[in-house]
Structure 1
Amino acid sequence: MKAASKILVSACLIGQKVRYDGAANESAHPVLLRWLEAERVVPFCPECAGGLPVPRPPAEIVGGVGMDVVLGHAAVRTRNADVSEYFLKGAQAALARCEELGIRVALLKARSPSCGSTQIYDGSFSRTLKEGEGVTTALLRQHGIEVFSEDEFELADQALGR
C-alpha cells in the first residue's frame, strides 16, 4: 500500500511561534486538522530555516516579487537592512526538504515575503498589498511544486489527493 503524500505547511499555521513578531497564525481548518491526524504535515518556516531569529524586524520585497529576488533583481529588506540572503537560503532549504520527501504540494502563509502565493506587501512598509508571490513560493513553483495559501485549503487538499 502506497504511503499518503506529505504536504509542506507553514509552521506558523500549525501553531509554532515563528512569525516575525514571535506569534503564530494557528489555523483550526478541518482540512489541516485531518492532515495533522493522518501525519501528512511537514511543518516548515523558511525564514527560520534561512537563519533569521524570532522575533525579527518585519521584511518586505522591494523592487519586484519573489522570482525577482531569486534572480537577483530585487531584494527582501527590513527598514534598515537587506535580508535577501536569509530568504534565499530558507527557500533553498524548503525546496531541499520537498525534494527529500517527495513533496509536490505546499500550503503556505498568505502575504508573507517568503510564503505569499498571490499577494505580498509592496515594499513600502505601509501595509499595502500588491499582486505577487514570496521568495519560497516562487522557488517551489519554479520546481513544479504546487503552492496554496491558507485561504485555499480545499484546493490544496484536491491537489494532494491527485
Structure 2
Amino acid sequence: MVLTEQAAKEKLFPIAFNQQQVLDASAVLMILADREAIKQPLVEKLNETQVKQGFLPEELKQQMIGMTVGFYQGLEQQKIMNFLGLDIGLFAMSFMLAAEEKGWNTSPMIGYNSQALRSAFSISERYEDVLLIAIGKKVKEPHQSYRYDVNEFVTWDEMPTA
C-alpha cells in the first residue's frame, strides 16, 4: 500500500512514533507479505504470466507450480512466514537500491505500532505488515550511524571460535 495523500501520512505519523520522514516523504510504502501468495491459484497466475511474457516455457509451467505448491505445503506456518520475510526483504532492498539509482532517497522503518497500523488502515489478516519505506528527496543529511566492520561478523571457511 502506497500512501501519498498528506492526510494518510498524518494518520500514520503517530503510529510510526512521530518519525518526521513519514510527513516529509513524497510517499510511504507499507510493505505487506501476502500469506496467500504461496497458494495454488496465485502460484498458477504468476507462472501463467511468466509463460505469456516468455520467461517460462509452457512445458515447465505445471512442473514449477507443482514444485512451488508442494514445497510450501510441507512447511510449518512459521517457516512459511520466514520465507515470506526473506522475499519481502529482498524486494525492499532491491526497491531502495533502484530508487537510489533514480535519484530518490529512502528510509526503511520497522519502528511502528503494528496493531495500530492494522486497525487504522484496515489491513486484513491475509497480510503480515513487515516494514514501512519512506521515499522522497532528502531535505537534510541523515543522522550518522555505525555499521559493524565486516570482519566482526564474517568468518572465512570455518565457524568463529568465540
Would the TM-score normalized by the shorter structure come out above 0.5? no
- Structure scoring higher RCO (CA < 8 A, sep ≥ 6) equals 2
The structure with the larger Rg is: 2
TM-score, normalised with respect to structure 2: 0.30
Query: Which protein has the bigger helix share?
Result: 2
TM-score, normalised with respect to structure 1: 0.30
